[in-house]
Every structure is written in structure tokens, then in C-alpha cells.
Structure 1
């Protein structure tokens, strides 16, 4: 309509101010659970009647703090076993920027468990009906619902859980945590100059988080 006015097609924009007729959308955070319920979640995951690949997928996402789609589409070719890093290409990332995830003993163990299942294929977590493709990004969500967390937790909420716990420890610089979550730098000028990925610094963060998860898992068996 603005173009039409500027080119003389119409005399005035009858849609000017139309957005005032609509309510501003309310942004809702992804459903997640409190840190005190992580042991409960880990116990439910260990007992859940779900496929082995799905169980490994959920643990992989929890440990690596990536988004559900990024976890579901993980490829063996992206894993640098020598450097112990998972390199996600820019085209798979929400911010269109490549992301490196330092791998811990726990995440490497998940890969070892998946090797007999998909080590000869492209994707680490293959689809059940079409092994040559990756599992559906909604697979984790469906499993979490069946585990009894419907309305309380979604797969993406695992990232919020990790962020909350890591920030509450006050052991790590908040910037390191933000980089680990592959969040976009809100300060555009700072983002343009600060391209450091802090891979080695983040190894400590990832190791601490994996240990925290493992302790929560052990707590369920005590």
C-alpha cells in the first residue's frame, strides 16, 4: 500500500495503523522443569518405554545443549574424534553461523553406543522407518510427553534447564554459557568484532554440565 501511494496508484493508504487492531503476541518461554527435578527426569528417561535411539538422542541433546533439530540431524562426518569436537555447519544453525561443541566423556560414550546402530550411515540418530534419513526433530518431544512430562517440559526446554543451572552455579562467565548455547550476541557491534568461540574454555563448562547430569542420574538409583 505504501508503494501504491508512492507510485500514484491510490491517493492514501487505507491500511495505515491497522496493526493497532491486533493484540501484540505474548512471547512464551519453552516449557521446562526446575533444576531440582532433573533426577526425576533422568529416572523417567531410564525407565521409559522408548526406542534405544530416542533415549540416546535425548541424552545427547541434554549434554550438548543444542536445539532439538540440531541434535536430530547430527551427522557422523561432523564429529572430530581427534579433537573431541562436534562441528555443526552454519546451514544447520538458527543463526546461520557454524558452532563447535566440545565433547565430554559422556557424549563420546553416547557415540560409542550409537556406532553399532548407525556408524555405517550418514546420521547418528537415524529415522526408525527410513534409516538413511535422520530422526524427526519432534521425536524427543513425543517421547518426553510419554514419559509423563506433557505440559511441563519440551525438548527445547532442556536448553533452558541447562542455562538456568549453569548460571546459578556462578562458576562460569555468562558469556561462555551464551556461546555454549549458540545464542546470538545482542550487541551488533560487539558481535561483529567478537568472533571467538572459546572452545577450550567451554570444555570446562561442558564437562561440569555432563558431570552434573551424571550425578542426577546416580541420585535416582540411591
Structure 2
């Protein structure tokens, strides 16, 4: 007959003392108590793996937090799974992974981790747009959902109302961003595959539309409208600043005083704020410098030239100028980005060097080496063109309507008495 293993008792366990090396006390059926040199005691279930037959220790808990009776109960449960050919340690790991996904690997948490990497490769304004779109359209429905439970039918159901409403560009951007987040989840080992890889194909494609821009002869109408609009000084200055400098909405909105060099009469936009991720230097004209003088009393003590209304410590929204143009009656005729197109058309019609115009618009030169070599030269070569453009805007504004009107390097009287209306 086989000898029966001696069972442990509570009295025996209470008398356990550490020795000069770890040792094990057995309770039978694979249940062991490991006593460490430091005095800690740990319950182990020692068993043979069902397939490999290798000996494995499965930790059950520490004594006395886990009593002898509780340890025996856990051992019986583990032996029952072994009898079914199930590795109890592997099963426990899978269950813990599932629980972890439900709490740690929620869609919003994974999106946050992805965004921390993404925001360093795009402009600040674009990064803000990404997070805003997810917060508005995705997180309310899927934010707390484990990423492993995100699937195509759920996302299609989420985005269909946007498609029905006609927000096809929003749907397009969201499907792209959702795919990037899910691919990040795959590459991070959270999920095995991206279930949204082909989801964009089930939605209508947005129709490509030309950028709304005024004809060259309509520039005077724009300047009169800006002068008479009931908008804040900062908004009016922002619109004219963007017009004079031919910058993108986000680049203009995030203008920082630290990037303005009054001595050299230049504005350097850092690479991280540029669409093409390359620093862009803009020669400043007398009109743009006068415009800065106009806004300086309101923001000269702050970081950004055009501070936000609600939080002056940050910059205004990249859509501020666009919304103002809509309220001024230009909806469907002009968007703030379209001012760049209008400037390009006028400068090309006037015979300015097309290469200088492209550089002024911060379009990447196909010959990067030549572009880098001639960048400093281009700044001074562009200066006469920028001066002409500012003068052309001023003429369209009939001399005194523009914020940047110059009177002996001072701003016009009219500009200093603009209404403090809501932007």
C-alpha cells in the first residue's frame, strides 16, 4: 500500500519558523507551503502540465492571508480542471488578461496611448482636431469598451448617423483614426487583428470640393466687410494677419510672440506647427508690423499673439477666422484657408516668380536639397513680393479701413477704436 501523505494542521502552521534556506511543507494532493528565509510563506499547487508533463508550481496565495482550508479548496478546484485536461495556471492567466482588458485596455485608454505618439508627428492644431473628434463622436459610446470587443458592426452603427447627416468628411477622418488606434492595439499585443481594416469602404465617399475663395476683384469687398464687421479686435487682427502672411488657419492662430523677430522683421514658425514639418520663415512688412503694434496692448504680455477668449493663456481656435467670415456673409464664398488661394492667384496674375509664391505658401520644394540651400536667400527675395502684397491689400482696403493701415509707423485712428463685440 502507498503511504498517505501527512496532512498539515493549523497548529503546525502557526509554529512555522524560517531557516537558513527556503524549505517546503507538503499537505498532499500537490498542495505545498514554501517557507522563505525572510519569513514569508506562500501556498503552491505543484502539478504536471497536461501536455508537456513538466512539473509546474502555481501560486495560490500567502499564509495566513489564505488559510489552510482555503488553500485546500483552491487545490481541489485546480485538480478538477487538470482532470479535464485544462492547465489551471494558463486558464487563470487568460482570465486575468480578460479582466485587465476590461479595465486597462479600454478603447479610450488605448486611444490615449496612441495619441501620445501621434501628436508628436502632426501639428498642434491637427492634434487638437484629432482628440476633439474622438471625444465628440467616439468616446461617449465606445470609450469604456475593451478594445478586444470593438468590431466593425458596432463602429458602423456608430458612424451611420454622421453619414446620414452628410458629414462624410468627418466619417472619413474618423475611420482613418479608428484604424490607426486599432493597428496600434495589434502592434502592442492587446488584440490579434484589426477588425476595422476595411470599414471605410462601407461609407459614402465625400465629394472633392474646391476651396471656397473670392475672385481677385472681390478683395475690396472682403476688406470693407472686415472693417465693418462686429467682431473683436483679436479676431479682426487674426484675419488680416493670415491674409497678409498667406499662412494656414492653424499657423496664424498659434502665432507666438517668441517667434517674432522685430529687428530682422521676420516671423519663424517652428517645424512642429507646420503642416509639412519644416520651419517656415516669413518676411514681415510694415503693414504686418503695424498690425502687431495694434494687438500688442491686448496680448503682448502673453505667450500667443491671438489669445483665446475663454483662456487667454492659450491661443485662439484655428476656426475662429473661419466662423467670423461665415457671420460676415461669406459662407460658401470664402473660407479662411481660401485667402491663401486668393493671394496665390493675384500674385501669379501680377507676374511674380511662381517659385517664390510656392515658397511663401510653404509648399515643400520637390528638390529638398536645393530648397535647404536657398532658404535664406529666398527670405530676402520674397520680401519685395510680401511688401507688394501688403500694399495691394491696403489699397483694396481704401487706405484707412485695414487694421494694419500705416500712419508714420502708427496704426490708424479708426483701428484703435474698433468695437469690442463678441468674436
Q: TM-score range by the shorter chain?
A: 0.7 to 0.9
Aligned counterparts of 1:41 and 1:22: Cα–Cα separation in 2: 37
* SS of residue in 2 equivalent to 1:100: strand
Aligned counterparts of 1:79 and 1:100: Cα–Cα separation in 2: 10
How many residues are aligned here? 203
Provide, for residues 106-130 of structure 1, a one-character-per-residue CA deviation record: whole Å limited to 9, x for no partner.
0000100111000000000000111
Provide, for residues 112-161 of structure 1, a one-character-per-residue CA deviation record: whole Å limited to 9, x for no partner.
01110000000000001111010011000010001110111000000000
Aligned to 1:7: none
5+ residue gaps in structure 1? 1-14
Aligned to 1:81: 262
- Are the aligned partners of 1:127 and 1:134 in contact in 2 as well (CA < 8 Å)? yes
Aligned counterparts of 1:100 and 1:220: Cα–Cα separation in 2: 28
- Are the aligned partners of 1:39 and 1:220 in contact in 2 as well (CA < 8 Å)? no
Provide, for residues 12-34 of structure 1, a one-character-per-residue CA deviation record: whole Å limited to 9, x for no partner.
xxx99x99988876532211010
Is residue 98 from structure 1 mapped to residue 279 from structure 2 by the alignment? yes
Find the partner of 1:179 among 350, 354, 359: 359
Aligned counterparts of 2:225 and 2:391: Cα–Cα separation in 1: 19
5+ residue gaps in structure 2? 1-196, 402-423
Q: How does 1:9-20 map to 2 (within 5 A)?
A: none
Aligned to 1:208: 388
* SS of residue in 1 equivalent to 2:398: helix
* SS of residue in 2 equivalent to 1:182: coil
* SS of residue in 2 equivalent to 1:101: strand
How does the TM-score come out when normalised to structure 1?
A: 0.85
TM-fit CA distance, 1:184: 1.7
- My pick for the range that moved more, 19-28 or 33-42, is 19-28
* SS of residue in 2 equivalent to 1:199: helix
Q: How does 1:126-165 map to 2 (within 5 A)?
A: 126-165=307-346
Aligned counterparts of 1:106 and 1:219: Cα–Cα separation in 2: 11
Aligned to 2:234: 53
- Are the aligned partners of 1:40 and 1:220 in contact in 2 as well (CA < 8 Å)? no
* Greater share of residues in strand: 2
Aligned to 2:37: none
- Are the aligned partners of 1:43 and 1:220 in contact in 2 as well (CA < 8 Å)? no
- Shift in alpha-carbon separation, 1:44–1:97, aligned structure 2, 3 A: same
Aligned counterparts of 1:24 and 1:146: Cα–Cα separation in 2: 29
Aligned counterparts of 1:19 and 1:108: Cα–Cα separation in 2: 47
Detail structure 1 runs of 4+ shifted over 4 Å in the superposition. 18-26
- RMSD of equivalent CA atoms: 2.2
Aligned counterparts of 2:207 and 2:328: Cα–Cα separation in 1: 28
Specify the structure having the higher radius of gyration (Cα): 2
How does the TM-score come out when normalised to structure 2?
A: 0.46
Q: How does 1:63-82 map to 2 (within 5 A)?
A: 63-82=244-263
Aligned to 1:109: 290
TM-fit CA distance, 1:76: 0.2
* SS of residue in 2 equivalent to 1:218: coil
- Are the aligned partners of 1:85 and 1:100 in contact in 2 as well (CA < 8 Å)? yes
Aligned to 2:397: 217
Q: Which has the higher contact order (CA 8 A, sep 6+)?
A: 1
